[in-house]
Amino acid sequence: MQKQLQQITANMLLEEHYHTLEKALLALYFHKNCTTKSLANMTDLPIPIVSAMKKEFAKQGWGKHSLTKKGQLAISQYFQLSGANAKLYFQLTTDNSFRTEWIAQNISGLSTIYDARPTADVAIDQAKCTVDTALKRALLALDYTMLLNKRILCLGDDDFISIALAFLLKKIAPHSATKIVVLDIDRRVLSTISNIAKDYELPIKADYYNVQEPLPKTYAHQFDCVYTDTPYTLIGAQLFLSRAINALKPEAMRHVFFSYAKRSYQKQWELQQSLQAMGFVINSIKYDINTYEGAQILGATSQLFVLQTTEHMISHIPNQRKFTRPIYTGEVERKSVVYQCIRCKHSLIVGAKNQYTTITQLQSSGCPSCKNKKFSQIKRTVQKTQDQHALGHHILLELHDCDVALLNDVQKIKTIMCQAAHKAKATIVTENFHHFSPYGVSGVVIIQESHLTIHTWPEYGYAAIDVFTCNSKIALQEAVQYITEQFNAGNATQHYVYRGK
């Protein structure tokens, strides 16, 4: 049936991949009868496209507004829906009030299982999510048609999202062919999940994997979606997401459900720039899902990005060799906190390379002088590792609708670029510019702090410019503004890149 769906996608010249057709067919199967308008709402497609899609379904003999017996059988076999709870699927996907009530009713049933989770290892940024959060995350797979007849990867799973997914799967389609794989560095987590999966007959496979190693070939390009709650550093997120890209099937419109701590606007911008550079589309950002048990470092909450893959995916970190840079918060930001015993006033330093690395450990052991377990914070310092600072600052400037005559004048372009270097307070070492026949100019201004480069396409009114410096005191934006004004650009865009960070 997958080949038929791919052919329908080709026949319709549909930009979305066949996964959108899967969503439509599941809606027809579980909702019994769908108008064109209602199906358009459920698939986020324009009504004319949904009408054309229904006609293609009818050509296959599957039905149009409702499924024929042939259509029901084909979809049931494709998604392994024998014994499926159609009413539950319908209510969970259409009724938010029922969904909220269903989550509340099932928390107690899972709490006993979740209580068996090992203690959080803060050294690798673990923080246990609540059972409520686990169920909400699992329901995302249902919302994005990533639950039935799929391969799901949980990349790092101290949150036990795999258990919530398997629980939901058994409730809706107990005979589904869905497979869930857990890859984690914490053998305690793997052992506990494996035992639970065995006891409850859940379709979960748990395997040891250190994300700093290349992804094993066994798991490369095998999955439809990935769940990951990454370390709370940018480089940690980039590494986990790079491995997720390696694990996903190569077609577009696969999903990554990515949880990450809330950060400052600047850090949020850096993260989203990175997501875009890797080829992800941010489908949505959920601020009301992730809650953690006693995770003061996060403010007890985090954001969840629903990421969608495109045909332009690029791993930020290659999969060929071991990654050796620090990725966890405790490695990247070395924190030390001075605590004072409330009873005897004895002071201790808590943090990396000290006797107690966390306040939890100190409280558990008690004050070494009087065994009291209550402490007050006196002083807190954060020392970032050197590789957090960018070695270079790089602006990629694109100028459209420029002065066409100027774009072909090598002497004027050289003057503008050298003057831009002066505007940036840079020191020019040398320059070289060349005019191509019949048109186009390329040039470089070498400065002590790095370089400025340009290439022009007069026939398109376009210029591509790089302004790069290894000195943070250089006024890059003044150079960029000057260049933009001198070329009389009607449209200008910038891409800011931190080099060597």
Q: Report, as residue numbers or ranges, the catalytic residues.
A: 450, 455, 470
Helices 96-114, 161-172: axis angle to 10 degrees equals 120
Handedness of CA 40, 43, 49, 55 (dihedral sign): negative
10 Å CB burial of residue 162 (0-12, 13-18, 19+) is buried
Q: Are strands 179-184 and 204-208 parallel, antiparallel or unpaired?
A: parallel
DSSP 217: G
Q: Are 128 and 293 in contact (CB under 8 A)?
A: yes
- Among residues 396, 418, 422, the alpha carbon closest in space to that of 474 is found at 422
Contacts of 217 (CB under 8 A, 6+ apart): none
Handedness of CA 195, 200, 205, 210 (dihedral sign): negative
State how far the Cα of 304 lies from the Cα of 299, in Å rounded to an integer.
15
- Among residues 174, 147, 178, 168, the alpha carbon closest in space to that of 84 is found at 174
State how far the Cα of 149 lies from the Cα of 295, in Å rounded to an integer.
35
Tokens encoding 111: 């709490």
State how far the Cα of 193 lies from the Cα of 209, in Å rounded to an integer.
15
Tokens encoding 6: 């791919």
Instruction: Strands of 169-247 (E only): list them.
Output: 179-184, 204-208, 225-229
Instruction: Strands of 38-149 (E only): list them.
Output: none
Q: Are 133 and 164 in contact (CB under 8 A)?
A: no
State how far the Cα of 258 lies from the Cα of 134, in Å rounded to an integer.
13
Tokens encoding 282: 């941010």
Q: Are 278 and 242 in contact (CB under 8 A)?
A: yes
Q: Are 178 and 142 in contact (CB under 8 A)?
A: no
Q: Are 420 and 483 in contact (CB under 8 A)?
A: yes
State how far the Cα of 150 lies from the Cα of 142, in Å rounded to an integer.
11
State how far the Cα of 422 lies from the Cα of 404, in Å rounded to an integer.
25
